[in-house]
């Protein structure tokens, strides 16, 4: 656990590590009779054959995954899947990450930097203690912008202050890339629309096979049905049907969360979060 409720695992998967590029994901099944879930590859080491994944504990399967100890084996690791993020020389690119997206934006920012772009990275969290990988991100960014909702680190606020960030950056922004929860990506896309800045989001949908066969990952983009696993996961955020995406995302919420909620005392689900109200 790198910050409360967010976990980082390094998996020995040489074939995946040899082929993965920025923006791709793997399908993982932690145990033999478990469910398959898609998780973005946030870093990799081709020489040692490992991939690194940061994920949030949101339900039964991620709970199982987070409970595995060092040296455990995973039943399934399939990948790399999905299209790679388009990386070109755009000029100045604003990379935005929140939650697990702070990790998944890292290889994208790194690839953009390696392609000669000026990279500005903006991260946001509810509080400073929920931020991580800041040094890694600084190493691949020309500039960092940090927001916390409580103002404990960086500026106070969240994605709603994106217009201020855009106007404070004196050079034109040629592209915005947003990784994180669907709300962050939706709101980021809404905020960049008036400025007509191309905005790419990496959608989090339910998936089963991750190879275009089951149709579970359907999304509507530009009024057309797309499969997030093979047509994406990267899409133009200005043309995504966000409402439909949110509805589909919630389809199995009860089945995901209930087994975890009923199996543990509430405080153990929150990790080592500092008390919000101090006791005197």
- For ligand FES, give the closer residue by CB, 233 or 237: 233
- For ligand FES, give the closer residue by CB, 12 or 241: 241
- For ligand FES, give the closer residue by CB, 151 or 215: 215
- For ligand FES, give the closer residue by CB, 1 or 213: 213
* Residue pair 114/90 in contact by the 8 Å Cβ criterion: no
Query: Does residue 25 interact with ligand FES by CB under 6 A?
Result: no
Site for ligand FES in 191-220 (CB under 6 A): 207-210, 212-217
- For ligand FES, give the closer residue by CB, 102 or 206: 206
Closest CA to 188 of 85, 98, 89: 98
Task: Give the x-and-dash track for 132-151 against ligand FES (CB under 6 A).
Answer: --------------------
Q: What's the min distance (Å) between Cβ of 77 and ligand FES? A: 16
- For ligand FES, give the closer residue by CB, 161 or 249: 249
- For ligand FES, give the closer residue by CB, 175 or 226: 226
- For ligand FES, give the closer residue by CB, 110 or 226: 226
Structure tokens at 130: 């929920």
Q: What's the min distance (Å) between Cβ of 57 and ligand FES? A: 22
Closest CA to 187 of 229, 147, 143: 147
Say how many residues touch ligand FES, by CB under 6 A.
12
Q: What's the min distance (Å) between Cβ of 46 and ligand FES? A: 26
Q: What's the min distance (Å) between Cβ of 59 and ligand FES? A: 17
Name the E strands within the chain.
6-12, 25-29, 37-40, 43-45, 50-56, 76-81, 92-98, 118-125, 143-148, 155-156, 175-179, 199-202, 218-221, 224-227, 234-236
Q: Would you call 247 helix, strand, or coil by DSSP? A: helix
Cβ neighbors of 177 (< 8 A, separation 6 or more) are 85, 93, 94, 95, 96, 105, 108, 199, 200, 201, 202
Q: What's the min distance (Å) between Cβ of 244 and ligand FES? A: 15
Structure tokens at 23: 């923006």
CA atoms within 13 A on the CB side of 40: 31
Q: What's the min distance (Å) between Cβ of 139 and ligand FES? A: 33
What's the CA angle centered on 210, arms 207 and 213, to 5 degrees?
Answer: 95
Backbone angle region of 188, left / alpha / beta, with phi > 0 → left and psi within -120 to 50 → alpha: alpha
Q: What's the min distance (Å) between Cβ of 230 and ligand FES? A: 6
Cβ neighbors of 93 (< 8 A, separation 6 or more) are 112, 117, 118, 119, 120, 173, 174, 175, 176, 177
Site for ligand FES in 216-255 (CB under 6 A): 216-217, 227, 229
CB atoms within 10 A of CB 172: 10
Q: What's the min distance (Å) between Cβ of 228 and ligand FES? A: 6
| Residues binding ligand FES (CB under 6 A) | 207-210, 212-217, 227, 229
């Amino acid at each position: 656990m790198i910050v409360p409720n967010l976990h980082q695992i390094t998996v020995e998967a040489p074939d995946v590590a040899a082929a993965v590029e920025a923006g791709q994901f793997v399908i993982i099944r932690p145990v033999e009779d478990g469910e398959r879930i898609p998780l973005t590859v946030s870093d990799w080491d081709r020489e040692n054959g490992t991939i690194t994944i940061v994920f949030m504990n949101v339900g039964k399967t991620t709970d199982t995954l987070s409970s595995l100890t060092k040296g455990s084996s995973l039943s399934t690791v399939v990948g790399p899947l999905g299209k790679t993020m388009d990386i070109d020389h755009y000029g100045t690119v604003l990379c935005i990450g929140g939650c697990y997206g702070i990790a998944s934006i890292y290889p994208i920012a790194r690839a953009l930097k390696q392609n000669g772009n000026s990279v500005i990275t903006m991260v946001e969290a509810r509080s400073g203690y929920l931020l991580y990988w800041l040094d890694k991100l600084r190493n691949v960014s020309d500039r960092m912008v940090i927001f916390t909702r409580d103002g404990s680190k960086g500026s106070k606020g969240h994605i709603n202050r994106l217009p201020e960030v855009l106007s404070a950056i004196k050079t034109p922004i040629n592209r915005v890339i947003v990784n994180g929860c669907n709300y962050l990506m939706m709101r980021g896309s809404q905020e960049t629309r008036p400025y007509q800045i191309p905005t790419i989001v990496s959608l989090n949908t339910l998936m089963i096979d991750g190879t275009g066969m089951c149709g579970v990952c359907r999304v509507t983009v530009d009024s057309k049905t797309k499969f997030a696993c093979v047509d994406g996961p990267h899409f133009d955020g200005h043309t995504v049907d966000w409402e439909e995406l949110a509805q589909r995302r919630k389809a199995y919420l009860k089945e995901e969360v209930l087994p975890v909620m009923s199996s543990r005392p509430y405080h153990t689900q929150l990790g080592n979060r500092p008390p919000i109200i101090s006791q005197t």
